Amino acid sequence: MSLESTARGRSFLAGVERAVVAGFGRSGQAAARLLAAHGVACTVVDARPREALAAGLAALPAGTDYAAEDGAGPALAGADLVVISPGIDTRKPPYAGALAAGAPFLSELELGWRFVEAPLVAITGSNGKSTATALAGALLAGSGLDARVCGNIGTPLCDALAEQTAATRFVVEVSSFQLEQVRAFAPDVAVLLNITPDHMDRYDSLAAYAAAKERIFTAQTPAGRAILCTDDPGAAAVAARLAAREGGPRRVAVSAAPQDPGIDAAWPDGEHLAVRLDGTLRRPARRDDLPLPGPHNLLNALAAVAAALAAGAGEAAVAPALRAFRPLPHRLEPVGEAGGAAWVNDSKATNVESARMALRSFPAGRVVILLGGRDKGGDFAALVPDLADRAHRVICLGEAGPRIAAALAGPLAGRVALEVAADMEEAVARAAAAARRGDTVLLAPACASFDAYRNFEERGEHFRRLVARRVQEEGHGP
């Protein structure tokens, strides 16, 4: 079916004559193109000058307006719809005032969802959501379905809509930022992996961040399915609230422990992965079919398998798809061996909890870890138990390096060596000098990348290049 035939989306836009698209990055451009395709005139609002947006604006109809962010109050006040990009902090002007005045804000995620007619799986969590999203998409594709992996992982949902068919399945990675401004968003299958402190520079409290994550379930009915990793305290609390909600979705508990026969769940059952949906028990794969390291990835895989089966994946496709799956770039990605040590790029570990999970994927006492970047309000002292168990050296770098070193110096004194490097190049050189044969040198920064890089991908690629140079100097590859 074509985009234009999507009746629900057309009905939603009926009466919308003028929309504001706030933020003109990937998701904002996708939203503007979708609105333009349905005859809605747009005003683009961005902190950057018009000249910086020229290429994206040129792809829109001639009637598209532009307003600088610091003068966008009138445009926001007069809009029938404000599509907000995830990078926009609505606590700040001019958006806070417009929200308070009742401007009709909506995320790009929900705008796209309004045009979805195929089954949709949405996956969120503080950590692991990209891996779980990609894996669920691979499981569905392995079943012969038209799996469209999109959202926060790359392609905006608004750009993934064209030519839906009965075989289409959308698998959408969803961030807390995207969920802040949803109203009726009701995925057929919603997954919550975990809630741990992240983006504390954006949220006033952990409770506010958790509430944004929980919005993935708010509009679900008994027709929908909610999959939650209940070993995580934050996700378990959400599961308890869903259980108490009348008319809520069907729940599936994901856990590393055996589960009660009376509930739908996913868990490791001996050497197998077990999934019970609607009372039917399946063991579609063995644990050793999963090539991803770490106990956290076992839970991610169980959630992805449960979600894919719930969305129509065939049981026979699970094991082959698991065996064929490879880590996404910058997520526990092996990038070479130099000096007898394995070098691993986990640049996507942008918060404290993800760095802890990365550490737990490797043998005790054999890790040299690189921490640092731009602080997002993380509690670096929470790393101490895992560092003391797994690492023998910590190298702190970047803008947050001195703060991390100060937080760790006392607790790790006499147990784990601690150094501070100015930048990635110096940190890699120090790591190479400290690593022993059989060690793992792990980039798991526990910080954002924006002190020195455009994004975590650019940071990971820089690390990869530095490692490749050392590998080449030694004359052998990964």
Q: What CA–CA distance (Å, rounded) separates 470 from 13?
A: 56
CB-facing half-sphere around the CA of 173: CA atoms within 13 A:
21
Q: What CA–CA distance (Å, rounded) separates 34 from 21?
A: 11
Bridge partners (DSSP) of residue 190 are 122, 226
Q: Quick check: is 129 catalytic?
A: yes
Q: DSSP states of 320-387 as a string?
A: HHHHH--PPTTSSEEEEEETTEEEEE-TT--SHHHHHHHHTTS-TT-EEEEE-SB--S--GGGGHHHH
Q: DSSP states of 383-400 as a string?
A: GHHHHHHHEEEEEEESTT
* Identity of the residue numbered 431: A
Q: Choose among 1, 43, 48, 49: nearest CA to 22.
A: 43
- CA distances in angstroms from 316 to 121, 276, 277, 322, 459, listed in the order given: 20, 15, 16, 11, 38
CB of 261 closer than 8 Å to CB of 224: no
Q: Count of CB atoms within 10 A of residue 262's CB?
A: 8
| Residues listed for the chain | 478
Q: Quick check: is 376 catalytic?
A: no
Q: Quick check: is 152 catalytic?
A: yes
- Among the listed residues 127, 194, 199, 330, the single catalytic one is 199
Q: Count of CB atoms within 10 A of residue 434's CB?
A: 18
CB of 413 closer than 8 Å to CB of 360: no
Residue with tokens 């402190």: 197
- Among the listed residues 127, 152, 297, 300, the single catalytic one is 152
In sign, the C-alpha dihedral spanning 170, 176, 180, 183 is: positive
Structure tokens at 446: 């526990």
CB of 361 closer than 8 Å to CB of 390: no
- Among the listed residues 129, 330, 348, 392, the single catalytic one is 129
Please list the active-site residues: 129, 152, 199
